Amino acid sequence: MKPRIYYTKPSITDLEVRYATDAAANGWGDRCYEYINRFEAAFKAHLGVGYAIATSSCTGALHMGMAALGIGPGDEVILADTNWIATAAPIVHLGATPVFVDILPDTWCLDPALVEQAITSRTKAIIAVHLYGNLCDMDRLLAIGEAHGIPVIEDAAEAIGSIYHGKRAGSMGLFGAFSFHGTKTLTTGEGGIFVTNDPELYEHVLTLSNHGRARGQTKQFWPDMVGFKYKMSNIQAAIGCAQMERIEELIGRKREILCYYRERLASLSGVSMNPEPAGIAIGAWMPTVVSDTIANVTLASLKHAFVVANIDARVFFHPLSSLPMFESQPSNEVAWDIPRRAINLPSYHDITDEEQDRVIATLEAVFIHASAREE
């Protein structure tokens, strides 16, 4: 059997190892925040925002951001049905209700028209999740939010490197949140970051992130409110600093991988991939193939072919409303349909052309076989 092709793994060089080693050996006492401060400064400069708070996860960044907005019991937060549960979990933790709306069939992101229909007097936020690095229609969502006095939050966990008409993903909403999980384009192993241009919101979240201890509080160990413990460690931030020095290389490599797939699958009938409309550049975190409904290619056939070929691939996210803890909403037809005929492709940084060719050949065999059955 040919060697296994994994769907993702991080790009770690001697630079990351050297920084992490220094943090482990010397990053204590007066230096305990050194790499954290460096990482936050580098990330906000890259993104073009005023404030950043490194966190233990993107989920924690979302949780604190929504808590700072006062979201709680009786409130509603609108988000796309197609998401990982990490986006919905903080809403539930705060006692609020996630309201799932359908996605657009091309970008697989939030449908703005359905967002507007879902707004009620209880709506306190709209979360725009940039799925797989694809970008939401931020102009429309921000206009809807402004018209109704509702903040738009960007879950950019998967969108490092994505640019919307000159603005980086995560920099456009009231606040943004990113993930640095080991699968992501930029990694700290686990971790995330909260970003915003709002100074008051920043101070509130900064206080929440430190067990409720305000930055200006002179009393030692005196919290001003009940907060959270969602800090990133200095060692994780050290890895992040090294990754930030390589950020353009990391993003560029992800785009190369997506382009390679696109070019070689362009002639395969019935296949669509991550869209990139005019004025938009996607960070290409997770190249994804969706079979047209007429192609008769199912998730089951794709999964089987990849298992036989010893290739690791991910299923498209299940709709959140199909999970047992939420009310079923099959009326979100696009979100419920696409996972039945889509798959995420391997895209780790050091994947070779030969390995990508194996993935492409596997896909071609599935689609050609399905076409032959139809004939």
pLDDT(374) > 70: no
Q: Are residues 251 and 226 in the same domain?
A: no
Q: Residue 282: pLDDT above 90?
A: yes
Q: Which of 204, 220, 245 marks a domain boundary? A: 245
What would the pLDDT profile of 28-85 be if each residue is shown by its tens digit? 999 999 999 999 999 999 999 999 999 999 999 999 999 999 999 999 999 999 999 9
What pLDDT is recorded for position 216? 86
Same domain for 72 and 86, yes or no, is: yes
Does 174 lie in the same domain as 263? no
* Greatest distance between any 2 Cα atoms in the chain: 78
Question: pLDDT-based confidence at 368, cuts 50/70/90?
Answer: confident
The model's pLDDT over 7-35, given as tens digits with 9 standing for 90+, comes to: 999 999 999 999 999 999 999 999 999 99
Asked if pLDDT for residue 358 goes beyond 60, the answer is yes
Do 263 and 192 belong to one domain?
no
CA distance 294 to 39: 48
Above pLDDT 90, what percent of the chain? 93
Q: Are residues 141 and 258 in the same domain?
A: no
Residues 189 and 325 in one domain: no
Tell me the pLDDT tens digit for each residue of 334-352. Answer: 999 999 999 999 999 999 9
* Contact call for residues 195 and 43 (beta carbons, < 8 A): yes
List the domain range (segments joined by +) for residue 290.
Answer: 247-374
Overall pTM > 0.85: yes
Give the CA distances from residue 12 to residues 6, 51, 147, in Å, rounded to whole numbers and listed in that order: 16, 27, 45
CA 368 distance to own-chain centroid: 33
pLDDT, one tens digit per residue, over 250-267 is 999 999 999 999 999 999
Residue 195 DSSP one-character state: E
Indicate whether 269 belongs to any domain: yes
Q: Is residue 8 part of a domain?
A: no
Range list of H helices, the chain: 14-26, 34-47, 58-68, 85-93, 112-118, 138-148, 199-209, 234-245, 247-265, 299-308, 333-337, 353-374
Query: Average pLDDT of 196-212?
Result: 97
Q: Does residue 295 share a domain with residue 217?
A: no
How far apart are the C-alpha atoms of 13 and 36, rounded to whole Å?
19
**318-329 pLDDT, tens per residue?**
999 999 999 999
Q: Domain holding 328: CATH number?
A: 3.90.1150.10
According to DSSP, the β-strands at 123-129 and 97-101 are unpaired
Q: Per-residue pLDDT for 271 more than 60? A: yes
* 29 within a domain of the structure (yes/no): yes
Listed range (82-86, 183-187, 220-224, 234-238) with the worst mean pLDDT: 220-224
Average pLDDT over residues 173-200: 98
Domain count, the chain: 2
The answer on 203 and 275 residing in a single domain is no
Question: Which one of 245, 273, 292 terminates a domain?
Answer: 245
319: DSSP letter? B
Q: What is the pLDDT of residue 313?
A: 87
pLDDT tens, residue by residue, 110-157: 999 999 999 999 999 999 999 999 999 999 999 999 999 999 999 999
Residue that finishes a domain, picked among 245, 278, 305: 245
Residues 192 and 253 in one domain: no
On whether residue 5 sits in a domain, the answer given is no
Task: Judge whether 3 lies within some domain.
Answer: no
Q: What pLDDT is recorded for position 294?
A: 65
